[in-house]
Chain A
């Protein structure tokens, strides 16, 4: 699966074919995201005081 690329302005109407399924690049991206999440959770989330409530904001009309 080749990476999507940008051509010069004016020649990109229509789009390229959809890519096939997950590949190594997707797996690397997922692992990078997971590593960032683990680091952030360790340094900023799992140290929060228990009395702090979550800030859920759900719009009942949405």
Chain B
């Protein structure tokens, strides 16, 4: 069975720098893990084994020749198939897209390579990052490694599955309404949506220009921080060294979005209460935060997302609707009935919500709320699938453009992952990671899924 593929990014990097493993061996083991496990999990839509091994050998040769090792030296990373990777088509899980290979890497991919990463393949998603898991597309939906009959979250489904199932140490996804944090939570790993304007979206097929973000998925907060440090825009504020130092939780003032936990099922509510108890036991001071109800953020975000995504796809929706899957088509059509003034008003409401959220966060180091309000549902339950995209507290942070980090918080009695979020004011990315690193040091880690 693959073993090196199970290393965290940080552990793999340490072993690579010590010379106890090579980038080629690590990449080969990840490719082996994909070959062994992905037949029933469907995380990948494209794996370029030869190119990945060639890239890994080039890293090893450069290192042997005395070149400095980049911060992601020799570590395989998977890319959501909505982000351009040179030489591979960007299919967005849709028959509507074409199979022309991308001529260039998206800047985030180029930055990963410049940091020493090995790009191993493209991962499954919901069609154009919306709709939900679908069986009427050219590729099957990814399945949850904790139970393949259950939803792995989305839309960055394959990225979450690939990391959780120990096929790769880290992946990139995109997050418009929670699409990095949802699969992170459903698969029991870490997912990060950075603040607006900190990571370029060039070379990424858009779902909603004003809500989209590019973020990492990894098995630890430290690993996610390393990936974010590599892909963030030059000139943005992010001190990786301070992000990796565990925050002093004693005396740390943390807000709690109590209102966002309403509607959580019993197991999620109990797990979130246990998170709060653990932070209190670590000496943190928890204070309730007052912001508008979750459904106001959700309604605002939904209207913006529907309007912008419809604008992107309306020509194809009109000319070739049959080429979309049903779930994607219905989601993308929804923007057809929005009045222009209502879209503008939704952006005006966004201004008010952003001001209120920033004001609420002004006197705390960070704030806490659940990620999903229900555990991962079954893939063959269309009612539960439809409901799961409303049963979440992630969209407020897309609407307000704030950084949000999803972390695991245990398993249900049925063995499915649950998760919570750490969120903060603009520019608080490093502080969020530092708090998360402290949390991970003290909290019980999830075991690997039953692979």
Contact = CB atoms under 8 A, between A and B. Distances in A.
Interface of A: 1, 3-10, 12-22, 25-26, 29-30, 33-34, 36-37, 40-41, 44-46, 48, 52-59, 61-62
A48 B346 CA distance: 10
Contacts, number: 152
Top 10 A-B pairs, shortest CB-CB distance = A9-B148, A54-B347, A33-B334, A6-B380, A45-B345, A34-B337, A12-B140, A55-B350, A4-B135, A29-B330
Q: Which of A3, A45, A56 neighbours the largest number of chain B CB atoms within 10 Å of its CB?
A: A45
A33 B337 contact: yes
B336 interface: yes
Contact of B135 (A15, A26, A48, A52): A15
B354 A58 contact: no
Given A4-B136, A15-B139, A33-B337, A61 B351 contact: no
Interface string B197-215: 1001110101001101000
Contact of B345 (A7, A8, A46, A62): A46
A17 to B, nearest CB: 8
Contacts of A19: 136, 322, 325-326
Contacts of A34: 334, 337
A55 B283 CA distance: 38
Contacts of A30: 330, 333-334, 336-337
Contacts of B329: 22, 26
A4 B134 contact: yes
Contacts of B135: 4-7, 12, 15-16
B40 A9 contact: yes
B352 A57 contact: no
A43 B337 CA distance: 17
Interface in B183-206: 196-197, 200-202, 204, 206
Contacts of B349: 44-45, 48, 52
A10 B417 CA distance: 21
Interface of B: 39-40, 42, 95, 107, 133-141, 143, 148-149, 196-197, 200-202, 204, 206, 209-210, 212, 296, 299-300, 302-303, 306, 321-323, 325-327, 329-330, 333-334, 336-339, 342, 344-352, 354, 378-380, 382, 401
A45 to B, nearest CB: 4
A9 B42 CA distance: 10
A21 B322 contact: yes
5 contacts: A6-B380, A18-B322, A26-B329, A30-B330, A45-B342
A13 B140 contact: yes
A59 to B, nearest CB: 6
Contacts of B212: 62
Contacts of B149: 6, 8-9
Given A9-B149, A18-B323, A21-B321, A29 B210 contact: no
B402 to A, nearest CB: 12
Nearest to B339: A41
B88 to A, nearest CB: 19
Given A26-B330, A41-B303, A44-B299, 17 more contacts: A6-B149, A9-B149, A15-B135, A26-B329, A29-B334, A30-B333, A33-B330, A33-B333, A40-B300, A46-B345, A48-B352, A55-B350, A56-B347, A59-B202, A59-B209, A61-B202, A62-B204
Given A48-B349, A48-B352, A15 B138 contact: yes
B336 A62 contact: no
B424 to A, nearest CB: 18
A22 B306 CA distance: 18
A37 B303 contact: yes
B345 A48 contact: yes
Contacts of B303: 37, 40-41, 45
Nearest to A54: B347
Given A15-B135, A15-B138, A22 B347 contact: no
A34 B97 CA distance: 27
B357 to A, nearest CB: 12
Q: Which of B139, B201, B334 neighbours the largest number of chain A CB atoms within 10 Å of its CB?
A: B334
Contacts of A20: 322
B380 A5 contact: yes
B209 A58 contact: yes
B403 to A, nearest CB: 15
A41 B345 contact: yes
A15 B282 CA distance: 49
Contacts of B133: 6
Contact of B40 (A10, A45, A57): A10
B332 to A, nearest CB: 11
